[in-house]
A and B are shown apart, each in its own frame.
Chain A
Amino acid sequence: DIQMTQSPSTLSASVGDRVTITCRASQSISRWLAWYQQKPGKAPKLLIYRASTLESGVPSRFSGSGSGTEFTLTISDLQPDDFATYYCQQYDTYSRRTFGQGTKVEIK
């Protein structure tokens, strides 16, 4: 299976900061990458797919980039509602979809 590695595991930031989360794939996945946001006790929420396409209704302060094996999720102007855990997910192969281990964005 393709392994997805996120960094950092935890990120401390303040409201208004620009934060970047990295996701690395163990082999090339082209641009078949999605990002999700999860808050405690809640289901994940789709933010971005195809590496950089924003899901409908997601604020434009979220952006994604990358291809091949390295991807980034950037949140510009961090808002109080953005403190959560973020997961990347590769979908290069239908029956071998895998997630990263998560990055928790916490208040500094």
Chain B
Amino acid sequence: EVQLLESGGGLVQPGGSLRLSCAASGFDFSTYAMSWVRQSPGKGLEWVSSLSGRDNSASYADSVKGRFTISRDNSKSTLYLHMSNLRAEDTAVYYCAKEPLGRWIFDYWGQGTLVTVSS
């Protein structure tokens, strides 16, 4: 059974940094591209970043480019999102999501971790 478990969310001041983690199990983690998708309170979904399975090719939404860094440790089946220079508008539930091979969609999602940026 595919499981994705996010951690690392919390309250951070504007301009601060935070690292999210997503522990994966139930599939060959190194084979699949993984993504972060966020959802602001009461709002819709926004794709944030993706990282390919083997060649470490990363993509970012314009809203986070230059501030967020996605990475993965295939030996630990773990995905990370390092967020810096955080803004109030980054406040959201951050979901880790798996992409099926060859399709740019999200077939499994974690339960999400809440990041609140506030002074």
Contact = CB atoms under 8 A, between A and B. Distances in A.
12 contacts: A42-B111, A44-B45, A44-B106, A50-B103, A91-B104, A94-B59, A94-B104, A95-B50, A97-B104, A99-B46, A100-B44, A102-B45
Contacts of B105: 34, 46, 49, 89, 91
Interface string B8-19: 000000000000
Interface residues of A, number: 23
Contact of B110 (A43, A87, A101): A43
Contacts of B62: 1
B55 interface: no
Given A34-B105, A49-B103, A95-B60, A89 B110 contact: no
Nearest to B33: A94
Contacts of B111: 42-43
B66 to A, nearest CB: 14
Nearest to B57: A94
A83 B63 CA distance: 32
Question: Which one of B46, B95, B105, B106 has the highest number of Cβ atoms from chain A below 10 Å of its Cβ?
Answer: B105
Interface of A: 1, 32, 34, 36, 42-46, 49-50, 55, 87, 89, 91, 94-95, 97-102
B68 interface: no
A49 B60 CA distance: 22
Contacts of B95: 43-44
Contacts of A100: 44
B1 interface: no
Nearest to A45: B109
Interface string B83-119: 0000000000001000000011111011110000000
A67 B75 CA distance: 41
Given A94-B104, A95-B59, A101 B109 contact: no
Contacts of A46: 105-107
A43 B59 contact: no
Interface in B11-45: 44-45
